[in-house]
A and B are shown apart, each in its own frame.
With several copies, the nearest count.
Chain A
């Protein structure tokens, strides 16, 4: 029997604020579970704590809403005990990057075979609006009434720096794009870090409007496609990136500089992926920045095989008869 997104919706009442970007992510997530033929009996959604981390309750599969920041560690244990399970990690910018930063980088470097969906709303939602590691300098929040002084972490450069094998970005407001990346993250063999821009309409509304709003998206959002020039500006692109002496350069498309001259996106190029991830200004890339093959973790840690008798009798023994 084919399952539909409905089959993956649990009976639990969804309790995010009306208008929260999490709704769309949940919807795309259940649709991708359905469309990729996920088996609810073998699907495990692991989260930490946060608004985002409530997601497992709303998905009719196995789920564990664990501890703040610890989802990657919990998922590691699950995968080691049963590598056949399809495990997903759901986390937030606070959960993954503040308290959970250490587990995140270790999951990435080990290449634990799990997609990691990082809902980035640049704020702590559940605890009612303190700044998070991705909050902007100067952002006014409950804990920074005079504006944050912390320099934000960039989840994508951090992931690349930690040795991640799959790094991408999408957003709550582009359902098709998000579904595509979710499916890709699942297909990747290894840790797949997918940052999802998610609007917290209560504590940091409109944070990502420049990239998510139809009106401005064409100007600021660069949708990456492997093998295609990195260009934007509408259905007919107006601008493109050039790879100029090892630095990205924004160029208006013109007779002097056509799409053929533009930087062709190659997700296997780690250094260029880092360059793209570093675009932190108005211009931001979406889609798959980087993907590489590396052995996955669980496979390298097989359970032992020595029979108990042999183990008990290992080493120097003697027998009294």
Chain B
């Protein structure tokens, strides 16, 4: 029996591809399969219908066992139209199944896709793939015969017809899907009729040969939902505000792909959380800092250009030693770059992108679900160490949905602000080097802070050379001490005799993990540590690393982490990297190093 299958859905952005994908994820997850996804939107808001630039894609991988990436090339490709086929045909494995919606390959569709009127795409396809043409339009209209809607409106249910086919093909429980559909569409039967028609079509007639029964794995218990990275961050912030029990100001300026966090929080309205759409990124970070000065937790998020604009504000946060969380949802750079694509090329800037000696903790989330936990850790460090923290996410994490077990509130980590009673010197450090947090409103606590160098202890302006030297080192030491709040160093993969260690960080997790597991399965002795803590590094990392002859660092940039690690360790590491705006696939990694 198959252990996993990769399916790619693509059609016009108006075809409801992402919605269809979302339904499949939920159905799969509820039926005990693991699932990972990858979305690909057009860069345009509304590209002209039927054109190649208007194609929206959704890939998912369904598996019997637990998996970590959405897979590389597809076993099955559902093409809603000629443009979709043109864009993604090369993604389908030779011999794979092409499920083509007949009407999407008619003359009009060819014209919209700027293809010659006589192009016979499906004939060409048959040379490489198994092709199953499905008259999606006719089936849909047929199913909705009784419904009193215009043809245009009926056609919106096409995606549900396909859902029905796929539900049957991958042996997912139709009861689950139907319950979902009832819940989503409330009373409206149109979509459910189309779904059932698709399911029946598949079962009774045509697609018997293509059925892939997947084993179910033993599902984890609990209450679940699907979340993407943006939602995970929003929920993580809500949880952090709850754990802190103080006001949180989420202040940000819209930018793709970070804005979805703003939308989520504005929609969710979690307790303690105020949402501000600031006039620009500088206002976003400085108003967040104002909130922190006032005794709340300031949070801001952005992507590339916005990170650049926040450099000065971060420096003030470093100097005033106030908590702040900055989430950078990385995208293709430099400059405006490739705003809808993914990349890990802001790492160096996160580490070094402020004038003066201005170190701060830098963390990275690996998946959507992991972003929830990492946001909580970032908030904990910010508050408990009184420091700004940068959390790196990226467009890939932000947009990929995965099933997530909703945690128990009791199990969330605590967030304990440092002492904040009056009468303390503004900068008197505790044993961990942390200054007190005496918020305005605290009786007798009046004091002034600012961006000028402060005298040790009192925080009063000081240009004294020895004081400056001491303060520079104390601020750095305080940041280094943040590592006390890390959990144990997690070794993802471990071979007893490995002399090669793979290091990666952020959203490459799924692909790298699959690649490493494949290598291990093939007898290559590699260990793997996926870094969540980019600064300071986990204290146990260096001793671990010293045990390996060879260290391979994998990332989606031109080797930024590799450069940084060499800088710290003064030992060679091998850099395996690419900067294409696309996530790594396991296939690609297999070829990139040996």
Contacts and interface: CB of A to CB of B under 8 A. Distances in A.
B30 interface: yes
A66 B48 contact: no
A170 to B, nearest CB: 24
Given A70-B313, A312-B407, A98 B291 contact: no
Q: Which of B26, B29, B293 has the most CB of A within 10 A?
A: B293
Q: How large is the interface on B (under 10, 10 to 19, 20 to 34, 35 or more residues)?
A: 35 or more
Interface string A6-18: 0000101101111
B4 interface: no
Nearest to A144: B266
Given A82-B295, A145-B266, A306-B268, A77 B26 contact: no
A131 interface: yes
B53 interface: yes
A67 B440 contact: no
Majority secondary structure, B binding face: mixed
A304 B461 contact: no
Nearest to A128: B45
Interface of A: 10, 12-13, 15-18, 40-44, 46, 49, 51, 56-57, 60-70, 72-82, 84-85, 98-99, 101-103, 106, 124-128, 130-131, 133, 142-146, 202, 301-309, 311-321
Given A65-B451, A99-B279, A320-B221, A130 B262 contact: yes
B274 A81 contact: yes
B266 to A, nearest CB: 5
Given A64-B449, A79-B294, A303-B272, 4 more contacts: A17-B44, A60-B446, A74-B286, A81-B291
Given A143-B262, A313-B223, A316-B180, A41 B269 contact: no
Interface in B298-330: 298, 305, 312-313, 316, 320
A97 to B, nearest CB: 9
A133 B262 contact: no
Interface in B455-510: 460-461
Interface in B498-532: none
Contacts of B180: 316
A241 B292 CA distance: 49
Interface of B: 26, 29-30, 32, 44-49, 53, 176, 180, 183-184, 219-226, 235, 238-239, 242, 247-249, 251, 253-256, 259, 262-263, 265-283, 286-296, 298, 305, 312-313, 316, 320, 335-336, 406-407, 409, 439-452, 460-461
Given A80-B249, A102-B279, A316 B274 contact: no
B45 A17 contact: yes
Nearest to B263: A142
A319 B450 contact: no
Contacts of A103: 279, 282-283
11 contacts: A46-B290, A67-B316, A77-B249, A85-B294, A99-B279, A143-B266, A143-B275, A144-B266, A316-B180, A317-B224, A320-B219
Contact of B259 (A69, A128, A306, A311): A128
A317 B279 contact: no
